[in-house]
Chains A and B, each alone.
Chain A
Amino acid sequence: MSVLARVPSVAAPTALSVGPLIGYAGGPSFTLADGPLFGLPLAEIWFGLLFFLLGTFLFLDGFDFGVGALFATREDSAEREQFLTAIGPFWDGNEVWLVVFGGTLFATFPPVYATLFSRHYLLMFAILGALILRGMAPELYEQRHDEAWRRWWGRSFVVGSLTAPFFLGVFVAHWLFGVTALVSLQGLVVGLAVVTLTIVDGAAFLRIKTRGALRDDLRTDALLALGAYLVLLVLTLGLLYASPAIRPALVSAPSIALVLLSLTFATVYALATRADRYYMAVGAAAGLVFALVAVVAVLLYPELDPVTGLTVEEAVVSTIPLNLMTIGMAILLPLIFGYFAVLYSSFSGPAEEGEGY
């Protein structure tokens, strides 16, 4: 630290002695350093919010991943075009929820962000690689019309859309089960479960965005994916039950309620899909996603990282940044939902010709 002394005053930690000098939130006597805003249990709220962000990401970007997977089942170039047109205006915004999830984890529970991401080093880069393939493909697919170019970017789109949710599932499984190895049975099962869940989600979305025979075809895809997801969900529950550390939390009331809720949503999804109630099917898919993410949260709590045993209270940032983040989130989250409402309502209903890239 000897060099510190040489850094002129402006760069040195001059504010060390300044202490909490701000009082712009709350009542006249309140400063951000006094304690959690309105005495709220902020650590717990942020823990919940974090999984809400993860769920929102999985639900919204699930549309795009599912569309990417279903893209592989279509040979016809017009149909493929239609799939890309369906997600064109949305996928970028949907993906930002992952950025926000990562940023929020960093901002509110930095040690967890640091240990989780560095412990699953190669896995994180696998997710990134998949997102690169998926993210570049739609934009580039449209840049040329020859066969070879489209075949390759089409593949890139499919592979990215399948592997991104798979690796994300592996990541969540390793997080929850505390796996430190590169591959595991739990990772495989949960990874596949997340892939099928995104297809459930994406198929429901696509049925809103398409018409005619294609829309009817997708009914079968949606129901098949739902069946596969339920099988994998049961397997996942079996693995959780087999894990002595997790079993007590699994047989508790909240987890059981969430599992029952999942089954209800699955039923609603199946019925809505058969009855061509498109929006209801998307709603049920959302229910499935959020129920799954909520199970993870319930099983983890009060820990945030089973490997290090860091709890929510231990890992949370100090009072001032937590209060600032809370104020920021309270203002921005409603605004962001507003943006998404404008976006999705501007492009409501089936995609029209000529809207593509």
Chain B
Amino acid sequence: MIDPVLASRVQFALTTIVHIVFPVLTMGLAPFLIYFTWKDIRTGEAIYEQLRRFWTRIFAVSFAIGTVTGIVLEFEFGTNFAAFSTTAGDLFGGPLALEGLLAFMLEATFLGIFVFGRERVGNALYMLSALAVGIGTWLSAVWILIANSWMQTPRGYELAREGGQPVVTLVDPIAAYANPRFPWMFVHMQNAAVESVALFMAGVGAYYVFRHHVWGYSIENVRFWEATLKFGLLALVVTAPLQVLHGDLYARHVFETQPQKFAAMEAVWETDSYVPEYIVAFPTDVGDLLDPKAKDIFGIGIPGGASWLASGGDPQAVIQGLEEFSGPQPPVAIVFWSFRIMVALGFWFVLLGVWGGFRWWRGDLLTDDLLHKALMLSAPLGIIAVELGWIVTEVGRQPWVIQGVMRTRDGVSPGLTGGEAALTLAGFAVVYTGIFVVHTYVLYRIIRAGPPAVGSDESSGAERADSGGGPTGAGEGGG
């Protein structure tokens, strides 16, 4: 028989892991779009209109898919985690409702104007809608991260038991919602989104620049792709070091508030001081690869590194080992490796930024083919780092769904059968694979079609020209 707890967890994991891709794209694109719109309106230069329209198309497709996958998540708290929703409803429902009222409403209404309304509204309202959409995407993150950070560092509540079921009552909203984890999460997440989009833009730009300047193909709109590369690189140079610096401090905060999670991130079993930070670690016996307790580890590590990370500078600091915590442990191997790879990627992005920045300064940004290749390969890696970071956060929190208050397995809907959960899980596996493939394919087509020819009508890309007839009795469209 399939375990409804396991099926629900896997389903939630799958659906969030797919969802987050789209918010990362939209949140990361938001500041770029605001800038491009501003410059387009102020200067009227063709390049900014192209940048605005091209990236707006990508934004719009990602937004539509972010919406359909997001609604699924909001419903899943009720369908799959009914006991959790009942326990935490007093505290947890509010941010979700406010996210809808305050953020999604702003975003979704003004997006209509931003995407379709260039010809219908004046410059001021158009600029305002760009701002509203951008602010809306970022506010969505505020509320959902308030909800999640409370699950990591819960405060401001009272706990009572009603017939065996723990029930949380909100007593201090400020303590609960302005909880210590939230600012860390928000800054780290938003910077990650911008960094991921920067990498994506730089990678896409590098592809065309490479084909033109290195391989010598004639490429339409070279100037557009060069601009894309430069904007992406510029944003990378700013965000990559910030992410690493911030991540280091963040790790210390996790150590202070969720020591068990930190021990899992570092795979520290026994309480120790002078704990090394492994950069690569390998069990000496291949059979131990997935055994979290593998002790015979061959690793290249920075001596005292983990202690240093935990304490903010003291390589001798003591880290509590996992064995000190009674009860079940998080799956250490997943957390350990996800953390490792995220950190490695973080450093790689810094390197990439420095390398690209140096080339730019030297004036051979457009011709360094090795750099182009590195950028192309790194285009999707930002999003991968985000996924890994979330896996660290969420899997590392196990066995708790609310740290120290409620176990995940107690949060699952009591009446849910394994059959039902498995059925929907299978459905999601199919549908979400489809969604992912379609989104990737559509992005590929948008990118291949290139930016719209400016000065023509709303059509973007060469293909738009062949669209069969418009609405009857049409008015003064286009311009």
How far is B462's CA from A144's CA once the two chains are assembled, in angstroms?
A: 11
A103-B96, A321-B93, A350-B471 given. 5 additional CB < 8 A pairs? A6-B259, A10-B155, A117-B82, A347-B120, A354-B459
How far is B158's CA from A12's CA once the two chains are assembled, in angstroms?
A: 11
Is B325 positioned at the interface, with any CB of A under 8 Å from its CB?
Answer: yes
Is A3 positioned at the interface, with any CB of B under 8 Å from its CB?
Answer: yes
Contact with A along B48-81 (1 / 0, CB 8 A): 0000000000001101110111111011011110
State the interface size on chain B (CB cutoff 8 A): 112
Residues of the B chain whose Cβ atoms lie less than 8 Å from the Cβ of A1: 404
Contact B257 A135 (CB under 8 A): no
How far is B179's CA from A14's CA once the two chains are assembled, in angstroms?
A: 11
Q: How far is the CB of A171 from chain B (nearest CB, A)?
A: 11
Contact A93 B79 (CB under 8 A): no
Q: How far is the CB of B116 from chain A (nearest CB, A)?
A: 4
Is B273 positioned at the interface, with any CB of A under 8 Å from its CB?
Answer: no
Contact B471 A78 (CB under 8 A): yes
Give me the 6 closest cross-chain CB pairs, A-B, nearest first: A110-B89, A117-B78, A354-B477, A353-B474, A89-B112, A107-B93
Contact B458 A354 (CB under 8 A): yes
How far is B173's CA from A320's CA once the two chains are assembled, in angstroms?
A: 8
Q: Which residues 77-107 in A have Cβ within 8 Å of B in the complex?
A: 77-78, 81-82, 85, 88-90, 92-93, 95-96, 98-100, 102-104, 106-107
Is B289 positioned at the interface, with any CB of A under 8 Å from its CB?
Answer: no
Is B16 positioned at the interface, with any CB of A under 8 Å from its CB?
Answer: no
Query: Quick one: closest A residue to B174, CB to CB?
Result: A22
Residues of the A chain whose Cβ atoms lie less than 8 Å from the Cβ of B132: 339
Q: Which residues 391-434 in B have Cβ within 8 Å of A in the complex?
A: 403-405, 413-416, 420, 423-424, 427, 431
Known: A15-B172, A89-B115, A93-B108. A214 touches B85 (CB 8 A): no
Contact B85 A324 (CB under 8 A): no
Contact with A along B427-464 (1 / 0, CB 8 A): 10001000100100010011000000000011100010
Among the listed stretches A124-132, A186-194, A225-233, A261-269, which one makes contact with chain B, having 4 or more residues with CB under 8 Å of it? A124-132
* Majority SS at the chain B contact face: helix
Contact A352 B97 (CB under 8 A): no
Contact B257 A329 (CB under 8 A): no
5 A-B pairs with C-beta separation under 8 A: A10-B180, A89-B115, A106-B89, A128-B72, A328-B101
Residues of the A chain whose Cβ atoms lie less than 8 Å from the Cβ of B153: 10-11
Contact A33 B171 (CB under 8 A): yes
Query: Quick one: closest A residue to B89, CB to CB?
Result: A110
Is A8 positioned at the interface, with any CB of B under 8 Å from its CB?
Answer: yes
Q: Which of A6, A8, A347 contacts B325 (CB 8 A)?
A: A6
Contact A19 B172 (CB under 8 A): yes
Residues of the A chain whose Cβ atoms lie less than 8 Å from the Cβ of B78: 102, 106, 113-114, 116-118, 124
Residues of the A chain whose Cβ atoms lie less than 8 Å from the Cβ of B77: 106, 113, 117
Residues of the B chain whose Cβ atoms lie less than 8 Å from the Cβ of A89: 112-113, 115-117
Contact B86 A111 (CB under 8 A): yes
